[in-house]
Amino acid sequence: MKHLKTITAGMCLLALTSCATKQGTFSAGGAGVGAVVGGIIGNIIGKDSKATAIGAAIGAAVGSGTGAIIGHHMDKVAQETAAQVQNAKVEEVTDANGLKMVKVSFNSGILFGLNSSSLSATSKTDLANFANVLKKNSDCSINVYGHTDKTGTDAINNPLSLKRAQSVVDFLKQHGVSNGQFKTVEGKGSTDPVAGHENTINDEANRRVEIYIYASEAMINQAKKQAGE
């Protein structure tokens, strides 16, 4: 059911998908969902523009030894997520430090009802399993982004994308994931469509919440010590 491909070094990223639309970024201080059944780790390093903007502020280049240590850890996180979270797409991409991270995506149809930010019963099972993975990897930081398609208005879609992202974060916290792991929670409406889906309006692929899991500053510093860098 799950297909895994090893890739390169760095951080964890997870993405889950939400639904609705439009311009603007609405932040809620902390921690997303995309659409595909079956976790897949693909060699897409460097292809996710959002991923390149995510990463701990470390102030210095990361050496190859440190990158290899973190990359190995993120491989394990991706594999654990793919094994535990059934209705999700799991990918590995790189962060702003050139380190590997994991992105997990659920579509809004799996997570939510139409125009709703209440989690479905099916999604709660997957998210509870996902929470177990995150708790085992408490040295990872997490960003969560809600997205919509281009139907409806900004007045509806922007707040809905944030509410959906926040619903995912709240559920994960209720199941034991530390509040301190969540670094960014944003609703982006329809401003960041999936590549290849930029010109469509009612598009399931764009209705999503994305979760990125990446190396925290503490993890990077520990890896540097291990690598002697």
Closest CA to 88 of 40, 128, 145, 125: 40
User: What SS3 string covers the chain?
Assistant: CCECCCCCCCCCCCCEECCCCCCCCEECCCCCECCCCCCECCECCCCCCCHHHCCCCCCCCCCHHHHHHHHHHHHHHHHHHHHHCCCCEEEEEECCCCCEEEEEEEEHHHHECCCCCCECHHHHHHHHHHHHHHHHCCCEEEEEEEECCCCCCHHHHHHHHHHHHHHHHHHHHHCCCCHHHEEEEEECCCCCCCCCCCCCCCCHHHCEEEEEEEECHHHHHHHHHHHCC
**Which residues in the chain land under pLDDT 70?**
1-47, 198
Q: What is the structure's pLDDT at 77?
A: 97
The reported pLDDT for the residue numbered 152 is 81
**Residue showing tokens 């994960």:** 172
Beta-ladder partners of 77: none
Residue 5, both tokens? 């491909």
Q: How many CA atoms lie within 13 A of 140 on its CB side?
A: 33
Q: What pLDDT score does 46 carry?
A: 58
Angle between helical axes of 217-227 and 64-84 (0-180°, round to 10): 130
User: Which structure tokens are listed for 83?
Assistant: 């094994």
Question: Rounded to an integer, what distance in angstroms lies between the CA atom of residue 217 and that of residue 204?
Answer: 35
- Residue recorded with tokens 């594999």: 79
Residue 191: the pLDDT is 78
- What are the residue boundaries of the structural domains of the chain, listed by start? 26-227
> pTM above the 0.85 mark?
no
Distance CA 123, CA 143 (A): 19
Domain 26-227 is classified in which CATH homologous superfamily? OmpA-like domain (3.30.1330.60)
Residue 207 confidence (pLDDT)? 82
- In b/e form, how buried is each residue of 105-114, taking b as 16+ CB within 10 angstroms? bbbbbbbbee
User: What is the chain's mean pLDDT, rounded?
Assistant: 80
pLDDT at 132: 98
In the prediction, which pLDDT does 45 show?
Answer: 54
pLDDT of residue 151: 87
pLDDT, position 38:
36
